[in-house]
Amino acid sequence: MNATLTALTAREILDSRGNPTVEVDCTLACGIKARAAVPSGASTGSREAVELRDGDARRFGGKGVLKAIGHVNEVLAPQLLGRDAREQAAIDAAMIALDGSDNKAKLGANALLGVSLAVARAAAAACDLPLYQYLGGPGATRLPVPHMNILNGGVHAHWQGADFQEFMIAPLGAPTMREAVRWGAEVYHALQAILQARGLSVGVGDEGGFAPQVQSNEQPLELIAQAIEKAGLRPGADVAIAIDPASSEFFEDGRYYNLRTEKRRLEAPEMVEYYARLVQAHPIVLLEDGMAEDDWAGWKALNQALGESIELVGDDIFCTNPAIIARGIEENIANSVLIKLNQIGTLTETIAANRLARDHGWGAFVSHRSGETVDSFIADLTVALDTGHLKTGAPARGERVEKYNQLMRIEQELGSAAHYAGRGAYVRAPCF
């Protein structure tokens, strides 16, 4: 098929929080059309690629993306039309050169990413391949452990609950992706029943998790363990727990971790001890963003304390940026990196970040954002990159569930070739 780009058209759509985001349609000479939508974060790292917003208070409180839309239609499209969509690296490099900034501030990472993903999806269709196989080759057969954010706090709950932002369940003992999703959904409903019985709120946060007013950051772990048991499963053996405190959000004065829920402020060594106690007491398999993005000394201490026991994932500190990840590897501050497409702005750079981490024995953990769409690109990406695990919210809300549904479709399509990552997904796999 003729995979020449003949049209690139962007539009402004709404994400799951009611904020504008970028959607791009790509058309090839052979008649194939593909579409991609760009996610948006709430808890963001300061070194993320720039998500270009209009700043016009008269539209969407300044959050409009018409500038980014214009950059796709008027700057990127004229320079890219006529290229072969299968030349992903060259197309991404051309867009980066057109932007010319260090952080994609000129044209906007949201503009570049929309084009990058739409082109990849169109190229896959032109090759008559599913997206995961086009990106990952014939060896892309491993389904990831889904990390379902079933209890929210921090920014995602608008500071109405725990200080920690995400409490996730990881059904690592399931035999298949389909069963993993079922287990997760059943634990989610069991937790809802427990919260209701205690008179706690079952309203949900941005990612579908419940956001009750708890007394500490440990109480959610206790509630989740009870929910796992109520669902007839074993904490740790069948379903483990992962946490993302998003600690940059409660790091103050360059020194203190302010745990508002518990009315205390901890310095880095005390925060490390706090996590160590939680890991010893609960079936925690993964800790993301345990320390703040600028607290490199704290990260190093955390890795020394827990890096041989569980997976320690850096998000805000790395921002899916290969240059920063390389420094983290050199200084030995973690053992895994979070992979978010819109933190860096192109598919090619995202793949490079994953490859760098994996080549050095680190884990890679693919992630959605708090502002999502029904685009399921990251489901295919996770299988393609063979990261073994991803997080994309609770088993609730259409924009979250669509990723899990896509993974079940992929499993069915692979048939006997499919296998579930399970405990092998983790760069560190503690026994419970």
For the question of residue 23 being annotated catalytic, the response is: no
Token digits for 127?
A: 């090759």
Token digits for 396?
A: 């609730």
- Residue type for 425, please? A
Separation between Cα atoms, residue 362 and residue 348, nearest integer Å: 19
- Sorted by sequence, the CB contacts under 8 Å of residue 402 that are 6+ apart come out as 374, 375, 376
Q: Find the helix or strand (DSSP H, E) in which 339 lies.
A: strand 336-339
Gap between the terminal Cα atoms of the chain = 52
Separation between Cα atoms, residue 225 and residue 318, nearest integer Å: 31
For the question of residue 207 being annotated catalytic, the response is: yes
E strands, 332-425, are 336-339, 363-367, 389-391, 419-420
Q: Which residue has the tokens 């997760």?
A: 184
Q: Which of 207, 218, 249, 293 is catalytic?
A: 207
Separation between Cα atoms, residue 384 and residue 388, nearest integer Å: 10
Cα–Cα distances in angstroms (integers) from residue 171 to residues 1, 80, 186, 412, in the given order: 41, 43, 11, 19
Q: Which residue has the tokens 């074993």?
A: 234
Q: Which of 340, 349, 391, 399 is catalytic?
A: 340
Residues classed as catalytic:
207, 340
